[in-house]
Structure 1
């Protein structure tokens, strides 16, 4: 199982640094370590709930003949009365053209006791794995040990770079300036017993204009198969690529593990 995380990062470039130097830094093990530290809190706090949890919402539906006090408060996600959803579900005696809408509107009561509209909590659990009210921890969609498989970094260029030649852009000074980059990190799950091993990691560095056009130092037209960092391309280019390094595995937290991400 692979996980891809897309983030935008910014940092102040060293004194006398050029765009060329920033791209070189994007291909170093130090950049990989920095990005692991950067995305670890995101993976820990923003992990979606496991599919089995979302599927179980139907089993947690509040029965139409249930206690009127079962869910008498508002849904904290949309701030509407949860009891209205229960009443609407009761009124629906047979399937209608609005069946899907009604399905999303009924109320559910989580194991922790808090109630929400089905559609609200379903959307929430696709992004988070905790109860919005009490932070009750559900099973996460991913946990265990992962290694960085590919790391694609795109330096966001300034508007004034739009009309410069590639060489002129590479020689542009960014010293002591705040540079921004969009980074896609792909993590690959590994067996727990091999988590202390070293794993190959493909690093790609691009420059990107504000209109979305991107290119590298080597050629104005890039090889889409390589720059996209798809799994087959990464595997075939790993042995010869200058942006190929070896990284260690690290462990994502789960409900049975420490919440602290450990880098081995």
Structure 2
């Protein structure tokens, strides 16, 4: 089973770095290692619940009618749903009591468990939708360009200096599950680097820019994840691109290495 994670990352580019340097950095092992470190906590802490848990919600429904003797044994009527903070109505037929004893509206807890695998109140751990060992299969990075870049030529964009500026990128990481008993410690992966305008149009260094298709709409770039909500982070380029071999670093401050391999990611 593959997992796709989409996040937005921000970091400060090194001094004298050009946009072409940033795109080249997106294709290095240093970038892969940074993204693995970045998404691992999100996968471990925000994994959705297994589909069998969501399917069991219908069998966990309880009555909350205070006049019903059977409902008096339920604690749902005594406290509100902590997800929407609304009380259960007197004739509530959509209340769900989890095995841990806490109650929620069926729609509320269903939406919750599609993003997380724990009880919102006590953090009771349900079975996760995915677990085990994963390796990065593909990593697609899209550099978000500023509005002033929209009518520049491709070459002018690539030569734009972004040194010491905060650079934003939307990254899609696809992870493939691997056998836990395998002895391999590194796995090949495919890296792609793009540039993306504020109107959503994307292109690579070799792709032409069609100015006639550009409008004047400036839209904010969105980031999300199957495993969690959108995440933002600011890191220094030195931390992300530190090279164990100083001879492989260029004057732009980025590591350049055409060998792309990634270590496994463990999701418990």
TM-score (norm 1): 0.78
Instruction: Give the secondary-structure state (helix, strand or coil) at the position aligned to 2:108.
Output: helix
CA contact (8 A) 2:139 2:189 kept: yes
Higher helix proportion, which one?
1
Structural mapping, 1:161-172, within 5 Å = 161-172=149-160
Of 192-201 and 23-32, deviating more is 192-201
Structural mapping, 1:45-60, within 5 Å = 45-60=45-60
CA contact (8 A) 2:13 2:167 kept: yes
Q: Match for residue 74 of structure 1?
A: 80
- CA deviation after TM superposition for structure 1 residue 219, in Å: 2.7
Q: Match for residue 125 of structure 2?
A: 137
Structural mapping, 1:168-183, within 5 Å = 168-183=156-171
Alignment length (residue pairs): 215
CA contact (8 A) 1:18 1:170 kept: yes
Q: Match for residue 185 of structure 1?
A: 173
- CA deviation after TM superposition for structure 1 residue 245, in Å: 1.8
Structure 2 residue 141 is matched with structure 1 residue 153: yes
Aligned-residue CA RMSD (Å):
1.7
Q: Match for residue 206 of structure 2?
A: 218
Structure 2 residue 113 is matched with structure 1 residue 125: yes
Q: Match for residue 207 of structure 1?
A: 195
Q: Match for residue 264 of structure 2?
A: 249
TM-score (norm 2): 0.76
Q: Match for residue 235 of structure 1?
A: none
Aligned structure 1 segments of 4 or more residues deviating by more than 6 angstroms: none
Instruction: Give the secondary-structure state (helix, strand or coil) at the position aligned to 1:194.
Output: coil
CA contact (8 A) 2:95 2:106 kept: yes
Q: Match for residue 198 of structure 1?
A: 186
Instruction: Give the secondary-structure state (helix, strand or coil) at the position aligned to 1:180.
Output: strand
CA contact (8 A) 2:40 2:265 kept: no
Structure 2, unpaired ranges of 5+: 210-256
CA contact (8 A) 1:158 1:210 kept: yes
